[in-house]
A and B are shown apart, each in its own frame.
Chain A
């Protein structure tokens, strides 16, 4: 059923575009409302019938993926959720995929947040990924959530040398001293990898400057698309890998689905969101081409 929908909508979109191209070769312009219909279909069809495209992880994304994949099981990873609901559509898919990947590889994961709004989103990831996918893992042994702590960069300055000073207990009020996972973790320097998700301030940039550089811990980041160009200069010296926007999330998910059988059957929101994006971009590009064809036709006719 879903396949039928995909085929029909693809036929409608590309058949229609071909017909419009044919018309424009004859020198006819496309009406504005026709363009609107095409955009609507291109966005709505992938939402109704999940149309996904093959994504190939670019080296920037692969850098982070391979690092997580090659760390020996039992390595300690810190994931920080420094974003708000406005950024969540882009960043949450990354958070879920990276959390899944780390836990699936058997790493010990500590979740935290520097943004008050991040704690709810962090809770969502725990509910969506860990509860259903890893019911055997034990809170405090295999993973732990320390929740949100106010203080922005100040928090980073402290946890770089003493984690428990800033986070004496986990999010449920259990002292970190009694958590097995924290037996060998005193400061950020004890982590094998830190993943900073976000895009505002404090965010990935602060993690690099205040923690990554002084404590010499590898840092991977996941950011909203608008911030990505600003973080490029840090790669690959100060950032081992970066996921930029929905596209970065989708690339990570496709890489994960390639290498980890289990992930294939899970929700892949990043890839799903790329469907409308890719189709709509293709449709707009096609319309630009059609417009130019019509333009050159009419100019030739006038030239005669």
Chain B
């Protein structure tokens, strides 16, 4: 009984108060009321998950944007994200995103001493503020969490690459094996390759040396490794014709590998006694000093043939123009796209991009080396086919296909 009175009383009071609130204008500072009205709605439906496919130390926070973002009062300018290792805080700001965004990737450092460190296997809690143009006017969401982050052992985002690796590997293995079994593989004529032999013959006739430049790449650059194979071929010919070979190098490791390659070519040609180690020598590890020295060699030794194969940068034109001044036949090949125009303009023969690798496989004179060339061609055919299908997919808005090739990080 008592309770009933109490409840009725409270209800009456509540009703009265609401009537009072409607009739009486509030006697408070109008600014404050304005700002209470200006407070945007909080974000909703917040999800926190460990960021997949990473080394840990990262969390993805997603949310439904505030009702006042792009609609309603339309006063949200950005969202600020806070995190803490305990439910009660204190919460640290970890970043902000502009309005209209519903996701934040909190990528922490893995170094425990770093201020941005985010621990793995620890409960983490998040809060999101919807902030207006006046940063004091903001609405904080509920505390979200806990979430734990950790590293994964397989990156599912890279499955397309894994498939490509497997297919390419199998194709290569297949063609290498069939080449080993003696199947003949056709390779279309490549301009610069035939020129190499002629150029060596020319040098012999003229009694002038051959200059071979391996570029600025390190011994680990694939272009340099392709160049080693071509160097081996050139050196063998040089040994047979008993011409002089000069190989100035930019990198000491490249130098020692090149020495080894030239040496074994002389062995193969049956003239190990003609090999002089100093024909392959180190210059300096400074781009333009190297160019200055090679230019000097060109004008002093007047090589009949200059071969540039490997990685080249701004020095490409300096070398090639000086070579043409020295009256040399010049053959070049690089996979550095920006330098191809200069070689094309200044050299007699240029291997464009992939032709360098093809030439390397071709000049290696081992049928199994050509196997991978065949696999590369299959990959190109696959590319064309996929591009056509993908084009249709893009035009007819069949997005399942286009997303197949997305590599996510």
- The reply to whether chain A is a binding partner of chain B is yes
Chain A residues packing against B (C-beta within 8 Å):
32, 154, 157-158, 160-162, 165, 186-187, 189, 210, 214-215
26 contacts between A and B (CB under 8 A): A32-B325, A154-B95, A154-B96, A157-B78, A157-B95, A157-B96, A157-B98, A160-B77, A160-B78, A160-B98, A161-B77, A161-B131, A161-B132, A161-B133, A161-B135, A162-B133, A162-B135, A186-B133, A187-B77, A187-B133, A189-B133, A214-B77, A214-B78, A214-B99, A214-B100, A215-B77
In whole angstroms, what is the CA distance A167 to B95 when docked?
17
B134 located at the interface, meaning its Cβ lies under 8 Å from any Cβ of chain A in the complex: yes
Chain B's interface: helix, strand, loop or mixed, by majority?
strand
- Tally of B interface residues using CB under 8 Å: 14
Q: What B residues does A187 contact at CB under 8 A?
A: 77, 133
The number of A-B residue pairs with CB atoms under 8 Å apart is 34
Chain A's interface: helix, strand, loop or mixed, by majority?
helix
16 additional contacts (CB under 8 A) given A32-B325, A154-B96:
A157-B78, A157-B95, A158-B96, A160-B77, A161-B78, A161-B131, A161-B135, A162-B133, A162-B135, A165-B135, A187-B77, A187-B133, A189-B133, A210-B98, A214-B77, A214-B100
In order of increasing CB-CB distance, the 5 nearest A-B pairs are A161-B77, A214-B98, A162-B135, A157-B96, A161-B78
Q: What B residues does A214 contact at CB under 8 A?
A: 77-78, 98-100
Chain B residues packing against A (C-beta within 8 Å):
77-78, 95-100, 131-135, 325
Q: What A residues does B95 contact at CB under 8 A?
A: 154, 157
In whole angstroms, what is the CA distance A245 to B1 when docked?
87
Q: Distance (Å) between the CB of B83 and the closest chain A CB?
A: 16
In whole angstroms, what is the CA distance A247 to B77 when docked?
37
In whole angstroms, what is the CA distance A162 to B95 when docked?
14
In whole angstroms, what is the CA distance A157 to B98 when docked?
7
In whole angstroms, what is the CA distance A32 to B346 when docked?
13
Chain B residue with the shortest CB-CB distance to A32: B325
Q: Distance (Å) between the CB of A183 and the closest chain B CB?
A: 15
In whole angstroms, what is the CA distance A186 to B137 when docked?
13
In whole angstroms, what is the CA distance A187 to B134 when docked?
9
Q: What B residues does A189 contact at CB under 8 A?
A: 77, 133
Q: What A residues does B133 contact at CB under 8 A?
A: 161-162, 186-187, 189
Q: Distance (Å) between the CB of A210 and the closest chain B CB?
A: 7
In whole angstroms, what is the CA distance A154 to B131 when docked?
15
Please state if B97 and A157 are interface contacts (CB–CB under 8 Å): yes
Chain A residue with the shortest CB-CB distance to B76: A161
In whole angstroms, what is the CA distance A160 to B131 when docked?
11
Chain A residue with the shortest CB-CB distance to B321: A32
In whole angstroms, what is the CA distance A162 to B93 when docked?
15
Please state if A186 and B98 are interface contacts (CB–CB under 8 Å): no
Chain B residue with the shortest CB-CB distance to A215: B77
Chain B residue with the shortest CB-CB distance to A165: B135
Q: Which of A154, A158, A160, A186 contacts B134 (CB 8 A)?
A: A186
